[in-house]
């Protein structure tokens, strides 16, 4: 059989896809998979060109960098089964992804605010070492008292430090300068060591900075460690922007603590819905099945896009006729879609409320589904989050009687200055914070005109008897059974507070969390570290939870314009 024509390019300019695996003419090719590290490309002896042996089409296309022929003959190796006239050249091994463990080992000096924010931050630095200045321990001691979230975190840090020291042998506890293995408490990812400031470092006063200030003393420690250990990268880690700016002006490396960030960009947060591409039905209609069950249409589709679906994620196609469906099941590249009810039609109104846009229709589909136990609603001001949740709660409490009570709570974080202590009972103290629910109750009560003023007053009293306003401060230890729990302004809650509230749900309880991560009033939270962002990301794809990001404001044209331009 004649050989194919040789390539016209020199071997040194061939790309990896041009390399061809040598094929033996004596043996049949085996069905065993080819190891990329054993892949060799034949080079004809005495010529700087590749020649294809036995077939014109490549048997295996290498995805590895090409190594030029070595000048020394010892660099050329012969593979068994290759013809004698071709000398195969072994290509370089495939490049592996560079792990973050391959970089130089660093020495992280922790500021107090990092430990106050995340008490487990000691174990988040993988193979790197952690250093705690004495000033950090002093500041921790000053914040350990109280019932606030910060005080609880400080006490947890103190317990972790004590447990690390207790894990050492008795003779090692007197020589802490050698460091403590951070993996001693079972944190296998933390392979570095913890160092305390066990001696007075030669800290030279920094000109222009007050020596008595805690931040400046920590900067002095970082500078002294850099001079004492010139072979190590000493880095200050702090959530305080000002101390990081000071460090940079002094030529000291400083970094922010990013482990509390769920996402780097709020635009990447899961929205709960996905538009179907224009060619979806052409690429996913093979072996498609459709059926109806209890008046609802179902589709089973297969294709590459199905693997990226999440359970209870909405998919839509606005072509004619439009399709609004929810993902019921995902198995590999096969998904089951269920067409949702159209809540924009008057016959499907919920407590007199109809959906005004696509996302509101998705939200009502989740809120009215008794199989969904947890719902998160995100959206800017005026998108209808509170109105939809309250309407769904009233309909399922007073009409279908799935739940026996609506419980409303919210984060009491003021926009401006705090107004101080409020008189009265727990419900009376929470009343000023519940203005949004009062406004929406007025909207929901407008449609009750059949009984006149007396009937409207009686209905209003009945509704208010089923709605309880509770403070989050007294939620610990409670269990809500068959309740419709609404958590408003959830963007101002930390992940730990969100966990404390959601775990109050007992059998038959539905939890609805609402908020706008663009309106965070808490000074210690960002869009990436908010508890609402945390729960949206963690509950993504759970079979009994759902999320919708409302896009369009429906409050008024004034509110919509203000949201866009201000």
pLDDT for res 443: 77
- Cα 308 from Cα 339, distance rounded (Å): 19
Which pLDDT band holds residue 29 (cuts at 50, 70, 90)? Answer: very low
- HSE of 110, CA atoms in CB hemisphere, 13 A: 30
- Cα 45 from Cα 84, distance rounded (Å): 9
Helix axes 452-465, 435-445, angle to 10 degrees: 140
pLDDT for res 474: 75
Q: Is cis: bond before 515, omega within 30 of 0?
A: no
- Judge whether 271 and 549 are in contact, CB under 8 Å: yes
Strands 86-90 and 40-44: antiparallel
Ramachandran angles phi, psi of 461, nearest 5°: -65, -40
Cα 315 versus chain centre, distance: 21
- Cα 547 from Cα 369, distance rounded (Å): 13
Strands 273-275 and 86-90: unpaired
**Domains in the chain, ordered, with CATH?**
1-96 (no CATH), 102-255 (3.40.50.1010), 269-339 (no CATH), 347-565 (3.40.50.300)
pLDDT digits (tens, 9 = 90+) for 295-350: 899 999 999 999 999 999 999 998 888 899 999 999 989 999 999 999 999 999 99
Residues in CB range of 287: below 8 A, 6 or more apart: 302
Rounded to whole angstroms, what are the CA distances from 200 to 133, 175, 541? 10, 15, 53
| Radius of gyration, CA atoms only, the chain | 32
pLDDT for res 21: 37
Which pLDDT band holds residue 188 (cuts at 50, 70, 90)? Answer: confident
Strands 254-255 and 180-181: unpaired
pLDDT for res 254: 94
- Cα 190 from Cα 124, distance rounded (Å): 7
Give the mean model confidence (pLDDT) for residues 362-384: 93
Rounded to whole angstroms, what are the CA distances from 523 to 193, 211, 434, 492? 32, 28, 22, 9
Residues in CB range of 399: below 8 A, 6 or more apart: 351
pLDDT for res 328: 94
- Judge whether 528 and 266 are in contact, CB under 8 Å: yes
pLDDT for res 31: 42
pLDDT for res 98: 29
Length in residues, the chain: 566
Which pLDDT band holds residue 9 (cuts at 50, 70, 90)? Answer: very low
Number of other CB atoms surrounding residue 430 within 10 Å:
20
Rounded to whole angstroms, what are the CA distances from 521 to 425, 444, 490? 25, 28, 11
Give the mean model confidence (pLDDT) for residues 391-418: 82
Q: Which of 191-200, 378-387, 455-464 has the lowest mean pLDDT?
A: 455-464
Q: Which two tokens stand for residue 423?
A: 């008189």
pLDDT digits (tens, 9 = 90+) for 41-52: 444 444 443 333
- Cα 385 from Cα 510, distance rounded (Å): 16
Which DSSP state fits 346? G
Give the mean model confidence (pLDDT) for residues 474-490: 88
pLDDT digits (tens, 9 = 90+) for 190-241: 889 999 988 888 777 777 777 778 888 899 999 999 988 888 899 999 988 9
Give the mean model confidence (pLDDT) for residues 263-271: 77
pLDDT for res 105: 82
Ramachandran angles phi, psi of 267, nearest 5°: -70, -15
pLDDT for res 522: 79
pLDDT digits (tens, 9 = 90+) for 73-129: 333 333 333 334 433 333 333 333 223 444 678 899 999 999 998 888 889 898 899
């Amino acid at each position: 059989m004649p050989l194919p024509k040789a390539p016209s390019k020199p071997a040194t300019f061939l790309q990896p896809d041009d390399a061809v695996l040598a094929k033996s003419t004596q043996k049949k090719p085996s069905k065993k998979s080819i190891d990329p590290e054993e892949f060799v490309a034949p080079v004809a002896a005495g010529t700087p060109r590749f020649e294809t042996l036995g077939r014109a089409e490549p048997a295996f296309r290498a995805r590895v960098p090409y190594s030029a022929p070595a000048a020394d003959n010892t660099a050329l190796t012969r593979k068994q089964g290759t013809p004698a006239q071709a000398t195969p050249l072994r290509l370089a091994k495939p490049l592996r992804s560079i792990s973050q463990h391959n970089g130089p080992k660093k020495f992280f000096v922790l500021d107090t605010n990092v430990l106050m924010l995340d008490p487990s931050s000691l174990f988040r630095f993988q193979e790197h070492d952690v250093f705690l200045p004495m000033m950090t321990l002093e500041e921790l001691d000053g914040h350990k008292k109280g019932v606030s979230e910060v005080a609880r975190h400080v006490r947890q840090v103190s317990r972790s430090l004590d447990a690390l020291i207790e894990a050492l042998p008795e003779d090692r506890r007197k020589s802490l300068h050698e460091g403590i293995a951070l993996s001693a408490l079972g944190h296998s990812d933390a392979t570095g060591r913890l160092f305390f400031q066990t001696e007075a470092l030669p800290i030279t006063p920094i000109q222009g900075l007050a020596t008595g200030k805690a931040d400046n003393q920590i900067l002095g420690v970082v500078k002294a460690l850099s001079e004492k250990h010139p072979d190590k990268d000493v880095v200050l880690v702090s959530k305080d922007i000002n101390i990081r700016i000071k460090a940079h002006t002094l030529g000291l490396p400083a970094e922010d603590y990013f482990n509390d960030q769920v996402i780097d960009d709020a635009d990447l947060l899961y929205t709960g819905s996905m538009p179907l591409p224009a060619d979806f039905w052409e690429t996913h209609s093979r072996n498609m099945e459709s059926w109806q069950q209890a008046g609802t249409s179902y589709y089973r589709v297969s294709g590459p896009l199905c693997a990226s679906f999440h359970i209870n994620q909405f998919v839509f196609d606005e072509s004619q006729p439009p399709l609004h469906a929810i993902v019921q099941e995902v198995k590999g590249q096969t998904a089951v879609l269920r067409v949702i009810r159209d809540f924009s039609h008057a016959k499907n109104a919920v407590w007199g409320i109809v959906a005004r846009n696509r996302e509101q229709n998705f939200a009502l589909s989740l809120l009215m589904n008794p199989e969904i136990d947890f719902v998160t609603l995100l959206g800017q001001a005026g998108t209808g989050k509170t109105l939809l949740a309250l309407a769904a709660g009233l309909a399922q409490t007073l009409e279908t009687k799935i739940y026996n009570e609506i419980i409303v709570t919210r984060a009491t974080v003021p926009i401006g200055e705090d107004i101080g202590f409020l008189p009265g009972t727990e419900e009376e103290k929470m009343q000023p914070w519940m203005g949004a629910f009062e406004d929406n109750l007025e909207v929901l009560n407008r449609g009750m005109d059949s009984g006149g003023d007396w009937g409207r007053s009686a209905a209003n009293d009945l509704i208010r008897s089923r709605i309880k306003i509770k403070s989050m401060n007294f939620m610990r230890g409670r269990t809500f059974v068959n309740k419709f729990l609404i958590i408003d302004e959830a963007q101002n809650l930390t992940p730990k507070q969100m966990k404390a509230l959601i775990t109050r749900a007992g059998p038959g309880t539905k939890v609805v969390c609402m908020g706008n991560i663009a309106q965070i009033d808490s000074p210690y939270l960002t869009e990436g570290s908010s508890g609402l962002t945390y729960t949206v990301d963690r509950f993504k794809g759970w079979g009994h939870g759902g999320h919708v990001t409302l896009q369009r404001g429906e409050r008024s044209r004034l509110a919509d314009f203000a949201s866009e331009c201000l």
